[in-house]
Amino acid sequence: MVEPQQLIRSFIRDLAPYIPGEQPAAANALKLNTNENPYPPAPEVLSAVRDCVDGRLRRYPSPTSAPLRKALAAYHGCAPENIIVGNGSDELLALAIRCFVTPISEASSSSGSVVQYFDPSYSLYPILSRIHHVRGNAVSLNPDFSIPDLQALQEDAAWDEDAALTFITTPNAPSARGYTTDQLRSICATLNGVVILDEAYADFAEENAAELGFTMPHVMVSRTFSKAFSLCYQRVGYFIGDPVLIGAMDKIRDSYNVNGLGQVAALETLRRLDYYQERIEWIQRERALLMEALEPLGFESLPSAANFVLTRPTRGAAKSWFDELRKREIYVRWFDHPRVRDYLRISIGSSDEMARLIAAMREIWESV
Ligand SMILES: *Cc1c(COP(=O)(O)O)cnc(C)c1O
């Protein structure tokens, strides 16, 4: 008899998959663990989706997400050829590795098979590297989660200027720290491979680096409708970049990679930007209020340019706070990772949700 285990490629058999944040079942659960937007999509977005739920579902959607790419091009002031849309930006991150990084066994130089990223940053990158059987190269951020200055980077033996692909999460996750376009530009200028600026949270920041996707031919900028535009469920993300790199990725994507309802929702979202801008401002305000409320409880929060806060209790262990909150059906994120084990990552919710969180934290504070 064939043993199914033996049919699996050996590195996949041993692969530890990505662990998404918990999806609690309880109706009264307060979910502050995956950086979802607390507000629903604009009413017009919901009705646009509803309006196409009929017999047309039997048809394939636009294979190239053509209407959406056209609208995104108008939004960013570029051509549709500068844009590729994916089934969430996660799909495009994986596609970029397949497109630009050579598997270890075929590479003629070691850097040709290197995917480089900062540590800590989005924990999906090392896993995608393993899935595609290329080398992940983690380069340490400074203790305050800033990016080392150029000279320090160049002196760091781990830094590989020839890495086939470098991911920079900006604003950083899980720290929420923002980086300036000037610093990103100078780092990109020293790199000889492809650079992807993962701007999943850029809409919550003071500045973004979209221009680098147009001015530097080896730089692409990754955006998503998941976070600022309340569309996690629909899975729509996109890259902006040079038509040559975008075109290469376009060749290897699945023919109908973005579902039709997602395309419709994203397209309508771009017509309702005022609705989202207002809510982004509400989230920024709640972010400041949360940090203020946590301070008397002894929490030290990092500055945030995103819709979440990384904060460190000075009384009680972070894991105990996580467990105590969980007992109250409040779900935040705690990472069992050396650099962030002492912190909680809390997504910003509505003011009612933040009030419930803060009340629970005051109660826990009495007992730790
Ligand atoms: C949420 C997130 C993504 C993925 O977004 P999707 O478009 O939903 O796949 C990518 N990068 C970072 C850093 C994220 O936090």
Q: What is the per-residue pLDDT across 193-246, written as a single tens digit (0 to 9) for each?
A: 999 999 999 999 999 999 999 999 999 999 999 999 999 999 999 999 999 999
Instruction: Give the closest residue (by CA) to ligand 1 atom 15.
Output: 200
| 270 pLDDT more than 80 | yes
Q: List the one residue out of 339, 362, 275 whose CA is nearest residue 120.
A: 339
Residue 119: phi and psi, rounded to 5, are -120, 120
Provide the 3-class DSSP secondary structure of residue 136: strand
Q: Say how many Å lie between the CA of residue 15 and the centre of ligand 1.
A: 21
Q: Say how many Å lie between the CA of residue 34 and the centre of ligand 1.
A: 10
Measure the N-to-C terminal CA separation of the chain; round to a whole number of Å. 56
pLDDT confidence of residue 368: 80
Query: Mean of the pLDDT values across residues 331-358?
Result: 96
The structure's pTM equals: 0.96
pLDDT confidence of residue 43: 98
Regarding predicted confidence, which is higher, 20 or 13? 13
Instruction: Give the closest residue (by CA) to ligand 1 atom 14.
Output: 200
Counting residues of the chain whose pLDDT is more than 70, the rounded percentage is 100
pLDDT confidence of residue 314: 96
Q: Say how many Å lie between the CA of residue 168 and the centre of ligand 1.
A: 13
Q: Say how many Å lie between the CA of residue 7 and the centre of ligand 1.
A: 32
Q: Residue 86 CA: which ligand 1 atom is closest?
A: 7
Q: Say how many Å lie between the CA of residue 229 and the centre of ligand 1.
A: 12
Query: Which amino acid belongs to residue 206?
Result: E
Instruction: Give the closest residue (by CA) to ligand 1 atom 5.
Output: 89
Binning pLDDT at 50, 70 and 90, where does residue 295 land?
Answer: very high
pLDDT confidence of residue 25: 85
Binning pLDDT at 50, 70 and 90, where does residue 40 land?
Answer: very high
Q: What is the dihedral of CA 303, 308, 313, 316, to 10 degrees?
A: -170
Q: Residue 225 CA: which ligand 1 atom is closest?
A: 7
Q: Say how many Å lie between the CA of residue 56 and the centre of ligand 1.
A: 30
Contacts of residue 124, Cβ cutoff 8 Å, sequence gap at least 6:
18, 90, 93
pLDDT confidence of residue 20: 82
Instruction: Give the closest residue (by CA) to ligand 1 atom 11.
Output: 200
Instruction: Give the closest residue (by CA) to ligand 1 atom 6.
Output: 88
Which mutation among 65, 125, 221, 226 tests ligand 1's pocket best, with the greatest number of atoms within 8 A of CB? 226
Return the number of other C-beta atoms located less than 10 Å from residue 3's C-beta. Answer: 6
Q: Residue 90 CA: which ligand 1 atom is closest?
A: 9
The answer to whether 153 touches 159, Cβ cutoff 8 Å, is yes
pLDDT confidence of residue 10: 87
pLDDT confidence of residue 22: 82
Dig out the tokens for 88 from the structure. 């969430």
Q: List the one residue out of 336, 347, 238 whose CA is nearest residue 290.
A: 347
Query: Mean of the pLDDT values across residues 72-77?
Result: 97
pLDDT confidence of residue 213: 97
Q: List the one residue out of 106, 107, 127, 102 whose CA is nearest residue 117.
A: 127
Where b means 16+ CB within 10 Å and e means fewer, 189-219 reads eebebbbbbbbbbbbbbeebbbebbbebebb
Binning pLDDT at 50, 70 and 90, where does residue 106 land?
Answer: confident
pLDDT confidence of residue 285: 98
Query: Which amino acid belongs to residue 355?
Result: A
Q: Which residues line ligand 1 (CB under 6 A)?
A: 88-90, 122, 169, 173, 198, 200, 224, 226-227, 232, 237
| 105 pLDDT more than 90 | no
| 9 pLDDT more than 80 | yes
What's the mean pLDDT when you consider all of the chain?
A: 96
pLDDT confidence of residue 36: 96
Provide the 3-class DSSP secondary structure of residue 86: strand
Query: Mean of the pLDDT values across residues 324-331?
Result: 96
Q: Say how many Å lie between the CA of residue 325 and the centre of ligand 1.
A: 25
Query: Mean of the pLDDT values across residues 81-108?
Result: 94
| 108 pLDDT more than 80 | no
pLDDT confidence of residue 1: 86
Provide the 3-class DSSP secondary structure of residue 118: strand
Q: Say how many Å lie between the CA of residue 273 and the centre of ligand 1.
A: 20
60: left (phi over 0), alpha (psi -120 to 50) or beta: beta
Which mutation among 33, 91, 224, 229 tests ligand 1's pocket best, with the greatest number of atoms within 8 A of CB? 224
Q: What is the per-residue pLDDT across 21-36, written as a single tens digit (0 to 9) for each?
A: 788 888 899 999 999 9
How far is it, in rounded angstroms, from Cα 297 to Cα 365? Answer: 7
Q: Say how many Å lie between the CA of residue 220 and the centre of ligand 1.
A: 15
| 45 pLDDT more than 90 | yes
| 168 pLDDT more than 80 | yes
